[in-house]
Structure 1
Amino acid sequence: MSAQRSFTFLVNPASGGGAAPEAVVPVARLLREAGATVDVTYSPGPRSMPGLVTAAVERGDVVVSVGGDGMLSSLAGEVSAAGGTLAVLPAGRGNDFARMLGLPGTPEDLAALLLSGSTCRVDLLCASFPGVPPREVAGSVYCGVDARAAELVDGAHRLPRRLQYPYAAVRALLTYAPARYLLSVDGEERELEAATVVVANSAYYGKGMRIAPPASVTDGLLDVVVIEAASKAALVRSLPKVYDGGHVDLPEVTVLRGRRVELRADPSRAAGPGVPVGGDGEPLGTLPPLAGDPLVVEVRPAAVSVVC
């Protein structure tokens, strides 16, 4: 990329507890000093995203997501559909997709990457609930205790940022109730009792948890991590292993791979009305029941061009 490339920064002002607007300033300044054209827009909400992305791509701009994984996911599908190029300025609580891409952390290094970095094509996930338009997700779709933990993170703003995810994970594990899942991976079906099921494109989620160690965003495959029902104490004790990927060696953990995943679940009586589903830090809904049509998660290989 040359210094003359132009950029549209789309900023989620709420990301990172309000850190995103501050994060964009030094990077935008460095790009302008290098001769690049930079437009900064503070996102008025998801309904405005398609129009903003289309206009930016038609101008030939690289679309820069400024925020967390949820902001990135909301843009990735739109940039893909418009045939544009996406870049990431991580400014959220988790920043796990940026971690997966190995992006630098300083404004100077990020600006240099935007100016001269190459592009690569990465996979996306497409999650489809029955009767609902499909939704693209960049990192992972997860069901059960992990989705509950993500909900708890949103209510943990008073804690220091480094403690928010560990706190939410432990609290969710201590209050979880397993569900009965019907899981199909490329047509191979199994029924099991589990605490959580993660359909991963990226290896990381939950602010650095290496939930799917073999996962690659360029291999055209999904890594499905199933953590079967175990005692709450055992799950809490095993939590540190998730940070280095050591949990996959535990007997209650199964890792599957495929291109199409179907999911249904019936919660236990203690779990409430449904099994929650999340994607990249955002709530997506609840799993359909065992007798219903499934949630379908498919991989979209090489779906979007990203500055990497």
Structure 2
Amino acid sequence: MTVPDRRDPTANHPLGDGPVAVLANPTAGRGRRGNLTPAVLERLAAAGRPVRLLAAESAGQAQAACHEAVAEGAAALVAVGGDGTVHLALQAVAGTPVGFGPVPVGTGNDFAVETGFPTDPLTAAGTVADALRAGRTRAVDLARLTGPDGVSRWYGAVLGAGFDAIVNERANRMWWPRGPRRYDLAILVELARLRPRSYRMLLDGVEHRFDGVLVAVGNCASYGGGMRICPDADPTDGLLDVVVAGAVGRGTLMRIKPRVYRGSHLDHPMVRGYRARTVELHAAEEIVGYADGERIGPLPVTVTAVPGAVRLLR
């Protein structure tokens, strides 16, 4: 396999003259950090550019507001929240010259962490402000996902299309209990129902057929708040990392899962890793994929690595 040329991640690309648009999710991290938005706005304003807080009361409104801000000439977009907030913002800035800065305040901040931003929100806001002041950006890759309807979306971290996605789908259908216990209960329910699914996967056109319980396609290494499911993924190499867990039972899966946080699960004989520019993934029965923790829709999907698709303010 020929590895694509890397773009220089330290290249200093000039930003436009427009304002800084800020998308803030006040419920990110279940509100445990309090409302940091005023302090973040203050840090960003120190860069000497006008700062505009986008108004939105739903995910749909947030995504529309981001697109509108970019269309109206924003030089940069800053997402204050977790991976879900980042996911919404990426739809507007991907493939554009607009600078992007994630300020991590969510329960899962995998894209921000994996692309080198500080975990402390105000420190991250300061990093973004320094980059704005210097007009500095760093190009990193994104994954472009296209569903069976032909509609494409971008994601920054990982697409899950196996057990973890099935758990997410179960948890989203449950109305009780509230909070993290709902997810814990969904895990127990789906563990009891665990069985391998049949997949057909094309990696740069080469077909692989297998039965498995877990499939992940990563632009970055981690998802779910630090689970290093694709531990060798590099968002500057122009490639996607694919990790597959084969037809294992409940006991084996539960022994593998803790190793994901260390990224040592690839040593297990039932886990395999691959790399490709383009991944086409089919399942013999309906499985709904989740990317950056957000519901994408049912397989099949085609995922393509797009080098340098977003310009990070670092």
TM-score bracket, normalised by the shorter chain, equals: 0.7 to 0.9
**Deviation per CA, 1:49-86, whole angstroms, max 9, x where unpaired?**
34543434644431001222122122213112443111
Instruction: Report the equivalent of 1:73.
Output: 87
**Does the aligned pair in 1 maintain the 2:231–2:263 contact within 8 Å?**
yes
TM-score normalised over the length of structure 1: 0.84
Runs of at least 4 residues off by over 6 Å: 163-167
Q: In 2, distance between residues paired with 1:12 and 1:157?
A: 23
Q: Is the 8 A contact 2:104 2:120 kept in 1?
A: no
Is residue 256 from structure 1 mapped to residue 256 from structure 2 by the alignment? no
Cα contact 1:13–1:43 (8 A) shared by 2 = no
What is the aligned-residue identity percentage?
33
Q: What is the deviation of 1:29?
A: 2.1
CA contact (8 A) 2:236 2:308 kept: yes
Question: What are the ranges of 5 or more consecutive residues in structure 1 without an aligned counterpart?
Answer: 268-273, 288-293
Q: For 1:74-130, what per-residue CA distance to the aligned partner results, in whole angstroms no more than 9, with x for missing partners?
A: 221311244311110112221111110221133442232012134211111111112
8 Å Cα contact 2:96-2:310 kept in structure 1: no
> Match of 1:278, as an amino acid?
Y
- Asked if the contact 2:46/2:129 (under 8 Å) is kept, the reply is no
**Structure 1 residues 1-308: aligned runs within 5 Å:** 6-18=19-31, 22-32=35-45, 35-48=48-61, 49-50=63-64, 52-56=66-70, 58-117=72-131, 118-151=136-169, 158-159=178-179, 172-267=190-285, 274-287=286-299, 294-308=300-314
SS in structure 2 at match of 1:146: helix
**Structure 1 residues 147 and 70: CA distance shift in structure 2, 3 A:** same
- TM-score, normalised relative to structure 2: 0.83
**Aligned to 1:239, what secondary structure does the other structure show?**
helix
Aligned pair count reads 293
Deviation at 1:170, TM superposition (A): 5.9
Q: Give deviations 1:217-275, integer Å, cap 9, x for gaps.
A: 111000010111101011112211000101001011010100111111114xxxxxx22
Equivalent residue, structure 1, for 2:4? none
CA RMSD of aligned residues (A): 2.8
CA contact (8 A) 1:181 1:263 kept: yes
- Rounded to whole Å, the distance in 1 between the matches of 2:199 and 2:66 is 39
**In terms of mean alpha carbon deviation, does 144-153 or 195-204 score higher?**
144-153
Q: Using a 3 Å threshold, how does the CA distance of structure 1 residues 265 and 31 change in structure 2: closer, same or farther?
A: closer
Distance in 1 separating the partners of 2:243 and 2:121: 35
Q: Which has the higher strand share?
A: 1
Q: 1:33 to 1:300 in 2, by over 3 A?
A: closer
Unmatched 5+ stretches in structure 2: 1-13
CA distance in 2, matches of 1:209, 1:142: 12
